A and B are shown apart, each in its own frame.
Chain A
Amino acid sequence: DAGITQSPRHKVTETGTPVTLRCHQTENHRYMYWYRQDPGHGLRLIHYSYGVKDTDKGEVSDGYSVSRSKTEDFLLTLESATSSQTSVYFCAISKIAGTGETGELFFGEGSRLTVL
Chain B
Amino acid sequence: GNSVTQMEGPVTLSEEAFLTINCTYTATGYPSLFWYVQYPGEGLQLLLKATKADDKGSNKGFEATYRKETTSFHLEKGSVQVSDSAVYFCALSGSSASKIIFGSGTRLSIRP
Which positions in A face B, CB cutoff 8 Å? Answer: 31, 33, 35, 40-45, 48, 50, 56, 90, 92, 94, 96, 98-110
Judging by beta carbons under 8 Å apart, are B43 and A43 in contact?
Answer: no
A30's closest neighbor in chain B, by CB?
B97
Instruction: Give the complex CA separation of A44 and B101 in angstroms.
Output: 8
Chain B CB within 10 Å — which of A31, A42, A94, A101 has the most? Answer: A42
Q: Does any Cβ of A come within 8 Å of B7's Cβ?
A: no
Chain A interface main SS type:
strand
Chain B interface main SS type:
loop
Judging by beta carbons under 8 Å apart, are B45 and A107 in contact?
Answer: yes
Which positions in B face A, CB cutoff 8 Å? Answer: 31-32, 34, 36, 41-46, 49, 51, 89, 93-105
If A40-B104, A105-B100 touch, whether A100 touches B43 (CB-CB below 8 Å) is: no
Judging by beta carbons under 8 Å apart, are A43 and B44 in contact?
Answer: yes
Instruction: Give the complex CA separation of A102 and B30 in angstroms.
Output: 11
Instruction: Give the complex CA separation of A44 and B100 in angstroms.
Output: 9
- List the 4 closest pairs (A to B, CB-CB), nearest first: A107-B43, A42-B104, A102-B32, A43-B102
If A42-B89, A105-B44 touch, whether A99 touches B97 (CB-CB below 8 Å) is: yes
Shortest beta-carbon distance, A12 to chain B, in Å? 18
Judging by beta carbons under 8 Å apart, are B43 and A108 in contact?
Answer: yes
